[in-house]
Structure 1
């Protein structure tokens, strides 16, 4: 199976780097490779990105330059994970999808960060999954699924365990997106997902060590996002 995995910055760099989480990620990816899956990885910027961007804003740095600083932070995280993977990855961090796919086809794990201003790593992961014809897209963060609102700000937020990309888009249209919001896939990524036919999982960092089992179909506490066509077909098969 070909799998694109996005590790949000909050996964291993929420307020400081979490070495144990990086080890868990590396072990899970190694296990997936042992099972002959083709893996592509995208990392977010996390605290490093926020720290530098906030400092840049205080210094009056233009937004176009702040975007580049944020991208650099995602690539720094990518290089760190790249190094942890050792021989499973390559020395270079891909800066475009073509290079990432070539790396995957050489039986290595490409680990990339951001690509261009205005595109979050959520969107990068969705585009990479589409461009590489992935069979499965997985988003992992410190929020364990998609909720009706941001659970960090609303205790009454309810988790949605299964939905279509259309339902996700409808939910996003009712929500006000704010930078740093981790409760849901961001608007640009949602728009990209609507045009894809790829099953998507949104799970929490607490299930990283279960990734190999989850890929095989084991239950998890996150959210499954299905393309509308696939969901309708599944319903027909059940009737």
Structure 2
């Protein structure tokens, strides 16, 4: 079965096997280290208003920015089948919606998904805008939760998926704060490796996920377009 990757309503990256989910049950242990994080957390200071979703949409990468071989992936309708997360209380602490397919719970957002080379290799870009401290606290908590569970299991329907989370050095790509993780999903003897990197620049948050090579190739370009001022 093909493994689908989604960023959930609380920002947890989890596995969706053709069917997303809406409930969690977790057990296990938690620990955190900040090695995958860089930058200074936002302070509660006066700042520009959040960008609208329409403004964020115009700052997403498009096929012309990416180059030849990239095709947009149509947005898939939300589904609501059971998912159980085993061995990760850190995800459970973020609430039952942590295993539900969707986007981060910030009010202004935009997202684009692409496949590359006519294959299942994918890259996804998400943009969010809100108060800088809210963005900082929210994404920091999300990455801490994922990093706090080096291994856990997701059961979608009756299909188990083993998940491994590995902290990566935060990229030197600009912005005020940066986070990065490598996630490996194993099901039916097949594995999918996904890199997820987030960068906060002021009141804007960029999240790029997908094939590690594609994330590395397009991260700086995505940040430059997202933060460009007209």
- Same-fold call, TM > 0.5? no
Structure with the higher helix share, 1 or 2: 1
Q: Tell me the TM-score normalized by structure 1.
A: 0.28
Q: Tell me the TM-score normalized by structure 2.
A: 0.29
